[in-house]
Amino acid sequence: MTVLVCVPFAGAGPSFFHPWREPAAGRWRVLPVELPGREKRILETPFRDVAEAARDSVGDVVAGLGDGESVLLFGHSLGAVLAYELAHLLLDRGVTVEGLVVSGSPGPWTQRERRATGLPDEEFLVRVEEFAGFRHEALDHPEMRDLILPVLRADCEMHENYVPSRDDPLPVPVCSMRGCSDGLVTAEQAQEWRLATTDAFRYAEFPGDHMFLVDSAREVLDVIAAEFATPGAASAAI
């Protein structure tokens, strides 16, 4: 069976992907990546470097695989570049990687022009809300905000300072996804991922903004299934 390894976006934890298990059933086993600073690892210090976070996570991913299981990686925004780094590390360990699905992300060599890192708390949250297109209600509760803010700051810092740890493209298919109304990542930037692979490249658009996947889990999984079921490069829009 193929394992769909899901890497969270900034501030998110593995539970975001738990609802994906039902629509993924029969196609993949969903294995979310759990980063420090959230959920079961809430007492651990969050990473501020993507490559370090990937190196910390790769052992858990390998340990979560059964005999003969291959991997299909999915990551949104920050999760996209983390998944890219993980793909390289998994291949180095001899794991069969069937492909990489990136969502809401420019190519790994393109850094965001507008930044949130270093801003005072209120300005930081306004900027993050602008990036995401919505404000999480937990940030309006002081106790929850105190828990979430340090992780969100660390995640934004490692995303905005990200430089790929290696320049060689992946030898596996890459599918890039984007919400057609995304004001943070343009269609051209999302298609920069074609330079990150020597294999097939696919591009898909969905209705919605940067966080389109929040309400589109089943549609996202259907497109992944369709794109990776057929050999060769293709593009799709729904």
Nearest to 27 by CA among 233, 238, 237, 226: 226
The whole-number average pLDDT for the span 83-89 is 98
Name the residue type at position 52: E
DSSP letter string, 58-110: HHHHHHT--TT-EEEEEEETHHHHHHHHHHHHHHHTT--EEEEEEES---TT-
| pTM of the entire predicted model | 0.91
- Displacement of CA 151 from its chain's centroid (Å): 16
Q: Which residue did the predictor score with more confidence, 42 or 24?
A: 24
Could you give the 3-state DSSP secondary structure of residue 7? Answer: strand
Q: Which two tokens stand for residue 51?
A: 């490559």
The whole-number average pLDDT for the span 82-93 is 98
Angle subtended by helix axes 142-160 and 50-63, to nearest 10: 100
Mean pLDDT (the chain) is 90
Q: How far apart are CA 31 and CA 21, in angstroms?
A: 9
pLDDT at 42: 87
Q: Which two tokens stand for residue 160?
A: 């905005």
Per-residue model confidence as pLDDT tens digits over 179-232:
999 988 999 999 999 999 999 999 999 999 999 999 899 999 999 999 887 443
Q: What percent of the chain has pLDDT over 90?
A: 72
Lowest mean pLDDT: which of 10-24, 110-124, 191-205, 207-221?
A: 110-124
Q: How far apart are CA 170 and CA 211, in angstroms?
A: 26
Q: Which two tokens stand for residue 193?
A: 């991922």
The listed CATH number (3.40.50.720, 3.40.50.10300, 3.80.30.20, 3.40.50.1820) that belongs to domain 2-237: 3.40.50.1820
Could you give the 3-state DSSP secondary structure of residue 31? Answer: strand
Per-residue model confidence as pLDDT tens digits over 144-182:
778 788 898 999 999 999 999 998 999 999 999 999 999
Per-residue model confidence as pLDDT tens digits over 43-63:
899 999 999 999 999 999 999
In the chain, where are the structural domains located?
2-237
Q: Where are the beta strands (DSSP E) in 166-223?
A: 174-179, 201-206
